[in-house]
Chains A and B, each alone.
Chain A
Amino acid sequence: MTAWITGCLILLLKLGIVLVGLLLLAAYLVLAERKLLARLQIRLGPNRAGPLGLMQPLADAVKLLTKEDLAPAKADRLIFLLAPAVVAATALLIFAVVPFGQDWVIGGRRIPLVVADLNVGLLYALALSSIGVYGVALGGWSSNSKYALLGGIRGAAQMISYELSLGLALVPVVMLAGSFSLVEIVAAQSRYPFLLVQPLSFLIFFVSAVAETKRIPFDLPEAENELVAGYHTEYSGMRFGLFFLGEYVTMVVMGSLVAVFFLGGWRGPWLPPLVWFFLKVLGVVFFMIWMRGTLPRLRYDQLMHLGWKLLVPLALLNIVVTGAVLLLLRA
């Protein structure tokens, strides 16, 4: 009984720490992005709130929380109010299956540094990222605004298209690791990260991941110079904040998924596993920001062309080749 209670307590504590850590990371990612993007454009970035602008996330949070929460008069109210939560919640939930460090042993008790080691963790992550589409599409539709609707439609089309290549790019990883569990996949990379044997898969997954986070060069759903703000045009206050938070949490989550699937997760020499995982995630996220500072937005037909005519066939070809090579090696 006591073992059960301590287990519960440890799980709750872990949950709390992961949740707070993730939210803090997302909040400071906003600042980091603004700072880095500014430096990429030879500007300074936010530097007024606190030393070096470090209190900026706090100021943003206060601002968003105290702003008026508006809903358009003819909006579908219930869906309008719920949509941002869907985006933020699904993004947060994906992180539950991500292993972020080696198991700890405290007082003879093994504490795995993952919230839930699902045996179908990979499918769970993909499924939740699919549910995230609903937040965007419904948020855009329920606003009863043309811009938001266009953004929502674009978002739905884009995310559904790139989910395909996102999933297909992971099939070779599953073939190599022989498991859907993210913990197992990290364990399978004990000798070398999958990046070395699956560079094409990595590339396809990364591009699709950026498209899933709706970031430049794939930010068509919110293309501000065409659609005002796309699917979240009509949102204000903390509901807009939730969309924003969801986007940045998705960035962290996609970064950690790239780290887990291709960069060996928390594995690495010399430094502690937790630090390695953190560094890898930050590396991926830095590249995403760098990308935003470099590339222009794709046109809509280019986006669809890239997804359906290039990434999906390449991913399929990659699966066939990987399967053939594995068959030859194991025969």
Chain B
Amino acid sequence: MEPRRNFLAAAWEGLGELVRGFATTFIHLFRRPITEAYPEYHRPLPERSRARIILTRDPDGDERCVACYLCSGVCPVSCISMQSSQREDGRRFASWFRINFARCIYCGLCEEACPTLAIQLTPHFETCQYDILTLVAEKEDLLVDHGGKNRDYNFYRHAGVTAVGGKGEHLQEAKPVNRRSNLP
């Protein structure tokens, strides 16, 4: 235990600290409140903040989604469902795509799982509804006409199906190696 100080000195010091505390809060009375009045003022949210989900398109205007089911599989609350189909040129797409936003927890795992950057989360968070069924979003509600966070990225140019181009036709892809002439 520290040595007992002079009682009067301690009381005087305590009084001083008390006055300082009261002065500090009093000054705060005249400061401008830092409150952001929400519905009137929307705070600009970071681009990568996670809220309502969209399905983006590649620069050519095609849907990026290839209906691989990875988002659906990784979703911890199983709120994504879809049906895959194939176009005549071999490109896969979802014939229907459904997200139940009443169940979605906005964890962003679907976005991380997506191999084609198709599914993305946006900062738009005002999705409240009175009727819970209106929160079920279909493909046409989710599809947008832009590329979201990566507007220039085109999945098919890099790794599209061979049905579209020959082997080695894609961006940054080496030509196929002739195994006969490749031997040392």
Q: Which residues of A contact B (CB under 8 A)?
A: 36, 38-44, 47, 290-291, 293-295
Closest A residue to B34 by beta carbon equals A42
The main secondary structure of chain A at its interface with chain B is helix
Whether B25 lies near A40 (C-beta < 8 A) is: yes
Closest 10 CB pairs of A and B: A44-B35, A294-B25, A44-B33, A293-B25, A40-B25, A294-B21, A43-B35, A42-B33, A39-B29, A42-B34
Question: Which chain B residues lie closer than 8 Å to A38 at the CB level?
Answer: 33
Minimum CB–CB distance for B11 against chain A, Å: 10
Determine whether the beta carbon of A42 is less than 8 Å from that of B31.
Answer: yes
User: Taking A294-B21, A295-B21 as contacts, is the C-beta distance between A44 and B37 under 8 angstroms?
Assistant: yes
Partner of A40, one of B29, B35, B37: B29
A290:B25 contact, CB within 8 angstroms: yes
Residues of B within 8 A of A (CB): 21-22, 24-26, 28-29, 31-35, 37
Q: List 24 A-B contacts (CB under 8 A).
A: A36-B29, A38-B33, A39-B28, A39-B29, A39-B33, A40-B25, A40-B28, A40-B29, A41-B28, A42-B33, A43-B33, A43-B34, A44-B33, A44-B37, A47-B37, A290-B22, A290-B25, A290-B26, A291-B22, A293-B25, A293-B28, A294-B22, A294-B25, A295-B21
Distance, CA A36 to CA B33, complexed state (A): 12
Chain A residue numbers with a CB within 8 Å of B25 are 40, 290, 293-294
A43 to B25, CA, bound (A): 12
Tell me which residues across on chain A come within 8 A of B33, comparing CB atoms. 38-39, 42-44
CA distance A44 to B35 in the complex (A): 6
What residues of B have a CB within 8 angstroms of the CB of A291 in the complex?
22
Q: Which residues of A contact B37 (CB under 8 A)?
A: 44, 47
CB distance from A283 to the nearest CB of B (A): 14
Nearest-CB distance from A39 to chain B (Å)? 5
Contacting pair B28 A42 (CB below 8 A): yes
With both beta carbons as reference points, the residue of chain A lying nearest to B35 in the complex is identified as A44
Nearest A residue to B29 via CB reads: A39
**Known contacts A290-B26, A295-B21, then 16 further A-B pairs from the complex at CB < 8 Å, ordered by chain A residue:** A36-B29, A38-B33, A40-B25, A40-B28, A40-B29, A42-B28, A42-B31, A42-B32, A42-B33, A42-B34, A42-B35, A44-B35, A44-B37, A47-B37, A291-B22, A294-B21
